[in-house]
Amino acid sequence: MKIPKNCIITGATDGIGKQTAIELAKLGYNIGLVGRSKEKTEIVLDQIASKSGNHSLKYFIADLSNIKTLDTLANNIRNEYESIDILINNAGAYFSQYIETKENIEKTFALNHLNYFQLTKLLMDIVKFDKPGRIINVASAAHSRAKLDIDDLQMKKGYKGWTAYSNSKLMNILFTYELHKRYQDTGITFNCLHPGFVDTSFGDNNIGLGRNILSLGKKIIAINVEEGARTNIYLASSNEVKNISGKYFYKSIPIKSSKVSYLPKYQEVLWSYSEKVISSLS
């Protein structure tokens, strides 16, 4: 009998995260949802069960921008799953204004990058080694518009919302490539992707021009969540990619990311700085 695979998805209560959970649940995967609101996550859990017929669903509540709480989240996941076959780091947001978390970390950097970095490291040892698992980081084509200053990764000197978001998506790719370099001997695969410009609630947490531009774009050119989730589902479930690692995908095809994303110096500086920020919290 085939043993169902365990899949953890962050940001799974909306958009492509939710759709990914639905489709993987239909395939028989055991799904662990990570959401911020208990009430909303419970509602989404019921919706996934209803649409998929799969009741092997669990949920975990965490504010992923609060980095110190990730230890508790990781422990809660460990208490429910002895191993993880797939970790999909999907949670993220755009913040038009500079905001610091309670830990004094710029919020885009904290949620969109540092959360990926720390949760991955905390769960790495329970990603199956006998049948190596997959770690998938949701990035974006927005990374090509990044203006990353490796001496000011949190943009404290002159914050611009879209630049910060683009920078964070470049960080997702830099992180993926560095993961592959450091851990390729484990057999775990590390890949990232651009899901496309998807019609979701992304950006609705903002006010003003940034939100208005996003809303207009969604009406004109955005794809639906079913299409936006396809590459996530492909990377999580397809045998075609079981031995492929360290790649950036779009429409389920590996493509080239921006030139700067391949620079070892940027990959290494980001990793070192991320470790330094996390160490400062303890």
Q: Which residues are catalytic?
A: 165
Half-sphere exposure of 202 (CA within 13 A, CB side): 31
Q: What is the DSSP string of 72-113?
A: HHHHHHHHH-S-BSEEEE------SS--B-TTS-BHHIIIII
Alpha-carbon gap, residue 199 to 219, rounded angstroms: 8
The sheet carrying 6-10 orders its strands as 57-61, 30-35, 6-10, 86-89, 134-138, 189-194, 247-250, 253-255
Alpha-carbon gap, residue 137 to 169, rounded angstroms: 10
133 in the Ramachandran plot: left (φ > 0), alpha (ψ -120 to 50) or beta?
beta
Alpha-carbon gap, residue 80 to 277, rounded angstroms: 29
